Amino acid sequence: MLKAGLLGIRGSGRTSVFDTLAHGNAFQADGTGRFTARATHLRPRDTRLERLAEIGRSRKTTRTVLELIDYEGVGLGDRGGRQSEWINSLQSLDLLVLVLPLFLHSDSTTGIVQSLDETFAELILADLQMVENRCARIEEEFKRAGRAERSVLEEEESLFLRLRETLESGHPLNALALSTHESHRVRSFGFMTLKPLCFILNTSDNNVPAWASLQKTCSEKTRVATHSVVGFSAAIEFEATELPSAEREEIMNDIGIASAPVTRISQALTQTAMHLTVYTVGENEARAWSIPNGSCAIDFAATIHTDFAKRFIRAETVAFDQLNTAGSLVEAKKQGVVRQEGRDYEVKDGDVMEVLFSK
Ligand SMILES: Nc1nc2c(ncn2[C@@H]2O[C@H](COP(=O)(O)OP(=O)(O)OP(=O)(O)O)[C@@H](O)[C@H]2O)c(=O)[nH]1
Ligand SMILES: [Mg+2]
């Protein structure tokens, strides 16, 4: 399950975004005495899954799940012990969701650039702090190390000095082309500027028509490879969640908001984290699975069950669109669109798969 944390300066609207998406379903997540954290599980509506349940006459449907976390009592820009404990707890997240408080700025274009720069500077600073701590510890360890250990530490130090130089010149670590070996070395640090980022432009109602151009500006200003920008109005969308659904859709259409907040944000998070959705369909259950881009059939089998991967034979695979057109698996087979794929087949978004394994 992908885990995403809401970040932003104090008062940027993180809790409003969280409450809109959680819709009353929140639970206490881990925090420390210095800050608390609430989490919610987002289960986005998926029209492909609904259609598959119809085709497969499935008794139930299971959507993908994303965990979203809101931190209370701490924010970007804070200083001191609380901040560093918080940053430590962010290390395990798969992606960061940065809330930019556009509603606080009257001139939105200048406002967005300013918010973005401030937020970015904070992330760079957080990483710099971690790099400096590690550099100091390397020096300590070096004094006590034997010859063999020293050469390992020297290698690590030269890598960390490169990280420090990049951050000190105001660039995210993503700007560095790290080798696979280097990426592996730094993985456990969970650096903020190496994580995929999703920006939420928290704007007020009269800004909705300007979302598209603001999203573009924000994208151009962002120097990380994996990011996305979503327009959101915590104020209006929260009120709208309280309305009956027909009325809600009418109001949202009038303002120009295309789909429900959970769907919009979940799609953006899934894409930013570079995950795709694959389906399994049976009489018992039609289910959507979120797996990393580039996964092979064997990885998908392991996601379902480790035993499936161990005893993998092949995966019967059909693209959603082809199954949808055919209307049933039997018809899809007649049309010859159901493929038999081996363990190294690279899974595509929308594949409907049945893993066959030895008994
Ligand atoms: N006009 C307007 N006000 C908003 C919007 N989003 C949040 N606010 C207001 O801004 C204030 C702060 O919002 P919160 O959601 O508490 O922000 P936060 O980032 O969680 O703040 P802290 O956790 O206290 O640091 C509240 O008074 C909200 O009602 C918005 O889209 N438009
Ligand atoms: Mg809050």
Per the confidence metrics, is the pTM higher than 0.85? yes
- Give the distance, in angstroms, between the CA of residue 55 and the centroid of all CA atoms in the same chain: 30
Domain final residue pick, 143, 168, 191: 191
**Residue carrying structure tokens 């903020």:** 192
Residue of 21, 64, 196, 37 whose CA lies nearest to 123 = 196
What is the Å distance from ligand 2's center to 244 Cα?
Answer: 27
Q: Would residue 288 count as lying in a domain?
A: no
CA 75 to ligand 1: nearest atom: 25
Give the mean pLDDT of the chain.
87
Residue 53 belongs to some domain of the structure: no
Contacts of 220-225 with CB under 8 Å at 24 or more apart are 221/112, 221/113, 221/116, 221/117, 222/116, 222/120, 222/197, 223/120, 223/171, 223/172, 223/174, 223/175, 224/172, 224/174, 224/193, 224/196, 224/197, 225/174
Q: How far is CA 68 from the centre of its chain?
A: 9
pLDDT grade, residue 52 (50/70/90)?
very high
- Do 90 and 145 belong together in one domain? no
pLDDT above 80 for 207: no
Domain match, 99 and 234 both = yes
Whether the CB of 264 sits within 6 Å of ligand 1: no
Asked if residue 148 has pLDDT above 70, the reply is yes
Q: Looking at the structure, tell me whether residues 259 and 341 fall in a common domain.
A: no
Does residue 10 belong to any structural domain of this protein?
yes
15 close to ligand 1 (CB < 6 Angstrom): yes
Same domain, 206 and 257: yes
Q: Please indicate, yes or no, whether residues 30 and 139 belong to a single structural domain of this protein.
A: no
Residue 163 has pLDDT above 70, yes or no: yes
- Residue 34 above 80 pLDDT? no
| Domain interval for residue 320 | 294-357
Task: Please indicate, yes or no, whether residues 225 and 98 belong to a single structural domain of this protein.
Answer: yes
Q: At residue 78, does pLDDT exceed 80? A: no
Asked if residue 135 and residue 226 are part of one domain, the reply reads: no
Alpha carbon nearest to ligand 1 atom 11, residue:
11
Is 16 a pocket residue for ligand 1 (Cβ < 6 Å)? yes
Q: Which of 351, 293, 281, 313 lies closest to 2, judged by CA?
A: 293
**One domain for residues 106 and 231:** yes
Number of domains observed in the structure of the chain: 3
Check pocket membership of 13 for ligand 1, CB cut-off 6 A: yes
100 pLDDT tier (thresholds 50, 70, 90): confident
List pLDDT tens digits, range 270-303.
988 999 999 999 999 999 999 999 999 999 999 9
Task: Please choose from 6, 7, 10, 16 the residue to mutate so as to test ligand 1's pocket, defined by most ligand atoms within 8 A of CB.
Answer: 16
Residue 33 has pLDDT above 80, yes or no: no
